[in-house]
Amino acid sequence: MATGATVSILSCWAMTADLTADAIYMGASYGPPVVPAAIVNNLEQFYSSVEKLRGIATEANATVVFGHDPDQIKQLRIAPEGSYR
């Protein structure tokens, strides 16, 4: 569970992607350096969550997918063009 951004926010790890949802909603927040958004409820937990998610992604060689990053979505393979059949 990743906490700190807002109360009760979770992230999800799926296969080779770390889906951060609102825990880290933009790549700019992920850093380095880690830059919290204005809506962060608890800075200490936010920084801890970022490092926890970074560790999980590194260990799993996973792509970190941010919940609301308009630049990242252009770089990801998305359906239907990127779907498997």
Residue 1 has pLDDT above 70, yes or no: no
Residue 7's closest CA among 51, 42, 33, 35?
42
Say what the pTM is: 0.71
Q: Give per-residue pLDDT as tens, 72-82.
A: 988 887 777 76
Give the three-class secondary structure for 20.
Answer: strand
Q: Give per-residue pLDDT as tens, 56-65.
A: 889 888 888 8
Q: Give per-residue pLDDT as tens, 10-61.
A: 555 556 777 787 788 899 999 999 999 888 889 999 999 899 889 988 988 8
Residue 9's closest CA among 26, 21, 27?
21
